Each structure stands twice: as C-alpha cells, then as structure tokens.
C-alpha cells in the first residue's frame, strides 16, 4: 500500500541498519524528507548513496548533550521514529551488572526520551502537529529468560509513550 508523505520531514534514529534502515528507506520512497541518525558513519554513507535525499546525522544516542545539539539544528520536523536500540540477552536476572543495565536503559529508553523532548519542543514552538513513533517490543509486556535490562527498557518505552501521548496529544 503506497503512502504519500510528500513534504513531510521525519527523523529516524538508529537508521544505519536493520529495521531502522528499512523505515528510513520506506519513508524516503514515500516522498518524505528523512533525517537518518546513527552512531556510525559508514552505514549512513551507504544509505545516502542509495537514497541521496536522506540527510545523515552521526550521533551516539548515549551522548545526551551531543545528540540534543545535533537534533536542534535540522528544520522543524513533522515526525520522529525512535528505533535506536541494543539487544541485551545473556545473564540471569541476579547477575546483570549496574553498568550493563544502565547502558541498555540509556540506549533503548532514555535516548528516545531525549530525542522526543528535542523534536517535540520544536514542533510545539512551530505549531506543527505530527507523529512520534516509539518502536517497542513484545518484551515490553512479557518476560523472557536472561533479558532483564531489555524487558525493563521496553516496558519503560511503552510507559514513556503513554506519558508523552497524554501530555502532547491535546
């Protein structure tokens, strides 16, 4: 089913590879101006080679301030797809270290909150009604063995989505 998003501008986080890359390409092919954010330049370079209208942004979402600074520069956007994330599988719930848990929460949850804050503040300022899509997982509502920080991050993403919808929806 084709979509016509001509004239819309959307940021996709984690757009260097995987599902995120596919989302960026699909939006681009639907007429959308896409800003593609990834922590690594190489995958963004190949994405832009394939789709020259895509605007690359190299930023590591773990760096809160640098990400904010880079996201304040683009024009006002109509939307955001928060899809940056890392998988976390491997230890019993009693064996995860604080550092490992924090890295997953920072990457999968707090980075989405950071990006949403920056983009929506600009949308509000410019009186743009748009869409924020937060990509979660079945892991947000179910537990799986050896995935403590991942399921926590996805459950947090689900609740952050509800909170932003409650406050920004009106």
Point out the residues that are catalytic: 150
Per-residue tokens: 64: 């809160």
Per-residue tokens: 30: 């639907």
Choose among 18, 149, 165: nearest CA to 89: 149
Mention every residue, 6+ apart, whose C-beta is less than 8 A from residue 63. none
Q: What is the DSSP letter of 145?
A: T
Per-residue tokens: 149: 């920080």
Choose among 75, 170, 76: nearest CA to 123: 76
| Residue 82 CB neighbours (<10 A) | 29
142/108 Cα distance (integer angstroms): 17
136/164 Cα distance (integer angstroms): 15
């Amino acid at each position: 089913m084709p979509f016509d998003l001509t004239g819309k501008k959307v940021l996709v986080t984690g757009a260097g590879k995987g599902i995120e890359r596919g989302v960026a390409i699909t939006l681009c092919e639907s007429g959308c101006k896409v800003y593609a954010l990834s922590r690594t330049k190489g995958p963004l370079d190949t994405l832009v080679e394939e789709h020259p209208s895509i605007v690359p942004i190299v930023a590591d979402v773990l760096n809160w301030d640098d990400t904010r600074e880079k996201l304040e520069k683009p024009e006002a956007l109509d939307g955001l797809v928060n899809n940056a994330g890392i998988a976390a599988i491997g230890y019993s719930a009693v064996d995860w270290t604080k550092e490992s848990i924090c890295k997953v929460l920072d990457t999968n949850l707090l980075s989405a909150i950071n990006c949403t804050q920056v983009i929506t503040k600009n949308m509000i300022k410019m009186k743009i009604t748009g869409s924020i899509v937060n990509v979660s997982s079945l892991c947000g509502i179910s537990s799986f063995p050896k995935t403590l920080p991942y399921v926590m991050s996805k459950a947090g993403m689900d609740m952050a989505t509800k909170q932003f919808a409650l406050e920004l929806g009106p």
